[in-house]
Amino acid sequence: MTPARLLEQFNTVKTLPHVAIRLIKLISDENSSIREFEEIIKMDPTLVLRLLRTVNSSYYGLHQKVDSISRAVVFVGMKNLRNMVVTEALKDVFEENAHNHIFSKSRLWLHCVAVSVCSQMIAERIFTQNSEDVFLCGILHDVGMIVENQVANDLFIKTCKAHEPGSRSFTEIEKEVIGTDHAAVGRLLARNWKLPVEIQEGIWKHHREMESVSPTSITGIIQMAEYIVSRLNYAAMPGMDAKLSPPLRVHISDNILEYKTLIQDIPGEMSNARDIYAFGGDKQHG
């Protein structure tokens, strides 16, 4: 089954909220106006409440309460709004399923949250980069699993059952059983949403061991974040190893003290993300 066919069926079976899709595409259009955002956002009362609650939180530290959608959009910024919209839309899609003893959507959601938070920390603390794109890539990097589970459930569960720690990689089994893998499906979803190419590439290559990858790239940061959080019991599935390309191993080794400090701060940052984005629980899964 091709990634395009999987996405086609996914959109038919369980379409993401129409408002979210319109907003994501609007944010990608440089010619969009604040009025256009306001007209779309006000169609979703839950999103309105989330936006206003966020901009009036202690995180932004504003002295005067913001009570209009247009002003809230200005304060939050386009990329943060995009991340909020995607996160809000995906939370419902990650609802638990009947096969949680084999594959847990809630565990996968916590993994994606942990990767996004750790990626943001690496971008900001290690490389002093803007982190909005890498945060979104972290949230979306395994979304292809949700598509496969929703559309090709029998084949996906067969893949999960066939995966054994220390044996073939999960993506190899996916390709054999389903005909594609979640990284390719996620990349196509990001492309359909017109997200930046770097985000698409980060999703597509997050499981690949590459001889040439820059630690400062989105792909490099996502790989390192997934490697770190998987060793903190935030793995997508029990026993699922995270690959780390050789240049990234060298980088972490050369900056080990900074990364040790970063790792110690992950639980606190997970708690902050929960407050800002209304994520689910922040407890580790053993």
Q: Is residue 186 part of a domain?
A: yes
Q: Is residue 24 part of a domain?
A: no
pLDDT in tens, 149-178: 988 999 999 999 999 887 889 999 999 999
- When pLDDT is averaged across residues 193-218 and rounded to a whole number, the result is 94
Whole-structure pTM value: 0.84
Q: Is residue 33 part of a domain?
A: no
Cβ atoms of residues 163 and 240 within 8 Å = yes
Distance CA 31, CA 41 (A): 17
Cβ atoms of residues 17 and 7 within 8 Å = no
Q: Is residue 67 part of a domain?
A: no
The answer to whether the Cα torsion of 151, 98, 107, 165 is positive or negative is negative
- What range defines the domain where residue 229 resides? 3-13+96-277
pLDDT category of residue 188 using cuts at 50, 70 and 90: very high
Q: Is residue 149 part of a domain?
A: yes
pLDDT of 91 higher than 80: no
Number of domains composing the chain: 1
Q: Is residue 132 part of a domain?
A: yes
Q: Is residue 118 part of a domain?
A: yes
* DSSP one-letter code for 185: H
CA atoms within 13 A on the CB side of 48: 12
- Render 207-249 in DSSP notation, one character per residue: T---SS--TTSHHHHHHHHHHHHHTTT--SSTT-PPP--HHHH
pLDDT in tens, 36-64: 888 888 887 778 887 888 888 777 778 88
Q: Is residue 256 part of a domain?
A: yes
Q: What is the CATH number of the domain that holds 198?
A: 1.10.3210.10
